[in-house]
Amino acid sequence: MDSVPNFKSISPDYLMSINQESRSTTTTPMQNGLVALCAIGTVLLIWCLLKFSAYGIDFTDESFYLVWMANPFLYDWSTTQFGFVYHPLYSVLGGDIASLRQANILITFALAWGLAYSFLASLDASLKGGGFTLLVVSAGLATSTFIIFDSWLPTPSYNSLNLQALLITAIGLVLAEKNAHRTSIVGWMLIGIGGWLAFMAKPSTALSLAIAVFFYLMFARKFSIRLLALAIGLALALLFVGALLIDGSVVGFTKRLQLGVELYGHLEAGHTISQILRIDSFQLGTKFKLVIFVVSGLLALALWSMCANNKKWSFFGLAISISFFLITVLFTLEQIHRTAGFGRFQGLLIFGLVYALAIATLALGRLRALKNISVQQWAIAALFMAMPHIYALGTNGNYWQAGSAAAIFWLLAGLTLLTPLIRERDSCLLLLPVALATQAVTVTLLQTGLEEPYRQPQPLRLNASTLEAPPRISGLVLPQGYADYIASADLVARTALFNPATPVIDLSGQSPGLLYAIGAENIGQPWTVGAYPGSLRLAQAALGRTSCEKIAQAWVLLEQDGPRSISTELLQSLGADFPGGYQHVGSWQTAQGAGGYPDRPKQDLYKPVEQHKTLMACQRLREEAKQ
C-alpha cells in the first residue's frame, strides 16, 4: 500500500535522495505536460490582451496619456516626462491607439520575462541548465506583470513607464556583481538606465528607488564605488541628453520641473511631501480572505505533492495544476463573463501565492531550509517586497492598491523562499505549479478590467461600433454611445470649419479625449482637469503661460453644470469676453459613462469671433501683471 507523505516525514535529506527520481522517465511526461500547459497559458493571456487592445477608450486619464505623447513639446512645464519618452514610439506607430497599447503590453511583458528568467537563474546554478523549461516557467511568472492592466488602461503612461523602469533596474540588480566582468557591467548599466527612466516617469519613485538600491547593494555585498559611479554616470548622461532634447538646456529642463511642481501644487490633489510620506492600510472582505486561503492552500498542496515519493500524490499535484490552467483557458476564451468582485484591493490576491511558497518551504524543509538562503537572496527578496510601494510612492491613492500594479515583485520575493526546495530537487518542476497558479490569478484580476473597464459603460466584449472618422479614433471598437458622442462632436466641428491643430480651451474638465479625437490642440495642459479644489487656479496658471495669440484663436468647449465643469471665470481672467466674443456653433450630448458619470450633460462648442479684441485684452492684462 502506498505511503502517504506528511510534512514531518519529509526532510532535506529525503529531498536530496529523490534528485534522480525528479529526472526519471516516470516524471518526465508530467513535467513536459505542465511545461506545455504553462506555455499555452502564457500565449492565451498575451493573445487576449492584444485582441482587446483595439477595444474601448477612456476620455479622461487614458486620453491624457495620448495627448501628452502626441506632442509633449507644446507644454513648458511638467512633473512627469513620460510623454517625451514615448513620443518616438507614438510617431513610429503613427498614433494608432491599438498598436500603442499592444507595444506597451509586449514591452512590459518582455522586461518582466527577462527579470523572471535572470532572477530564477540566480536562485540556483542548476536552474541555468533548465533550458526551454526555464524559459517557459519564467514567461508564466512574467504574466503577473499584466496585473497593471486590471482596470484596463493599457495605453503607455507614467504608470507603465514607472513599472518598466523598475523591471529594468531589477534585472540590473540581479546581474550586477562587485567585480567588473561583462555580465556585471551590463547589470550596472541597466541600473543606471532604469533609474533614469524612473525619474522620467515619477521623480518620487526615482528618489526612493535610489535609496533602496543603495541599501540593497550594501547588504548584498555588491557595493562597488567604481561600478556605482558607472551607473550614476550613465543615468546623469541620459538625463543631460534628455534635457537638451526636451528644453535645449539643463537650465531649461530644471525650470520645467520647478514650474511643474509649482503649478501642480495649485491643484491641491494630495501631492505635498507630508501627504506623500504616509503609511496606508487596506481592508479585505470575508470572501476575499477565503479566496486567498483557498488559493494558498491549493498551491501549497500541489507543491507538497510534487515532492511525494509515489505517483499517486504526484498526480494529485498535477490535477491542481491543471485546474489552474483551466481557469486561465476559460477566462481568456471568454467562457466566463463574471468579475471576481474582490474590491479595490484585489491585487493583493498575489499574496495567496506568496503564502503558499512560505508554507511549502517551512513544511517540507522546516526552518533549516531557510539557512540555505544566502544573504544576497534575502536582500533581493526584501527589496522586491518594497518595490510595489516604491512604485506607488507619490500617488494620491492608496499605496497598497496602487502598488498592486507591481505585484510581480511580491511574487518573485516569495519565490526566494522556495530556493532550498529547488536546489534539492535540481529541477524546475516545483516552479511549474507556481507559474500556472500565477496565470490563473492574473487572468482573474484582468477580468475586472475587461468586464468593468475604467470609466467605460460596458464590458469590452460588448463593444461593436467603429468609426472611420475622425482618423485618430478610427479602428477602435467602441460602445455605441461613445461612437455617437465622438461622431456628433466631429460633425459639429467640421460643419463649423474647425481645422485640425486649432487650439481649444476645455471648460468641461473631463474631455481631453474628445479634443484629441477631433484633432484639437489642448492648450495650457494636456488635460484641463476639473473637480479638484484648485482646478480653476491651475487652469489660470497654465493658460497664463500660453501665448495671447493662441488664447485669442482658441475655441471653447463648454459643459454647463457638468460634474467637472470649470467656471467661465477662467476666460474672463485671460481677457476673453465670453459669451459675447464667441459664436455658438453647435452642441451634443455626452455619452453615458463618459468620465465615469452616468448622466449625459450637454456640451457646447464656441468659435471666437473677436480675436483681435481678445488678443489686445490678454496682452494688456499681462502687462499689468508685470507692473
The secondary structure element, H or E, covering residue 331 is helix 311-332
C-alpha cell at 226: 567604481
**In the predicted model, what is the mean pLDDT of residues 217-234?**
96
Average pLDDT, the chain: 91
* Per-residue pLDDT reduced to its tens digit, 477-529: 999 999 999 999 999 999 999 999 999 999 999 999 999 999 999 999 999 99
Which three cell numbers mark 479? 460602445
Q: Give the CA distances from residue 210 to residues 191, 203, 204, 344, 617, in Å, rounded to whole numbers and listed in that order.
A: 10, 11, 10, 29, 48
* Banded pLDDT at 3 (limits 50, 70, 90): very low
Q: What is the mean pLDDT of residues 460-477?
A: 93
Residue 274 reports pLDDT greater than 90: no
123-135 pLDDT, tens digit per residue, is 877 676 668 899 9
Chain centre distance of CA 348:
15
Mean pLDDT, rounded, for 223-244? 97
Confidence band (pLDDT; 50, 70, 90) for 278? confident
Span 565-588, pLDDT tens digits: 999 999 999 999 999 999 999 999
> In the predicted model, is pLDDT for residue 541 greater than 60?
yes
User: According to the model, what pLDDT value does residue 434 have?
Assistant: 97
Rounded CA separation 148/217 (Å): 28
Of 495, 502, 507, 479, the closest CA to residue 567 belongs to 507
The grid coordinates of residue 360 equal 511549502
- pLDDT-based confidence at residue 310 (cuts at 50, 70, 90): low
- What is the model's pLDDT at position 469? 86
Tell me the mean pLDDT in the region 288-294. 96
Q: pLDDT by residue (tens digit) across 23-63? A: 433 346 888 899 999 999 999 999 999 999 999 999 999 99
User: Residue 520: CA atoms inside 13 Å, Cβ hemisphere, count?
Assistant: 34
pLDDT band at 306 (very low <50, low <70, confident <90, very high): confident
Residue 273 is predicted with a pLDDT of: 72
Q: Which residue has the cell 507614438?
A: 90
CA distance 192 to 165: 10
| In the predicted structure, residue 1 carries a pLDDT above the cut 80 | no
Is the separation of the CB atoms in 313 and 27 below 8 Å?
A: no
What was the pLDDT predicted at 368? 77
pLDDT digits (tens, 9 = 90+) for 389-401: 999 998 988 999 9
Position with higher pLDDT, 271 vs 367: 367
Q: Which of 3, 7, 6, 1 has its CA nearest to residue 365?
A: 7
Whether pTM > 0.95 for this model: the answer is: no
**252 pLDDT band (50/70/90 cuts)?**
very high
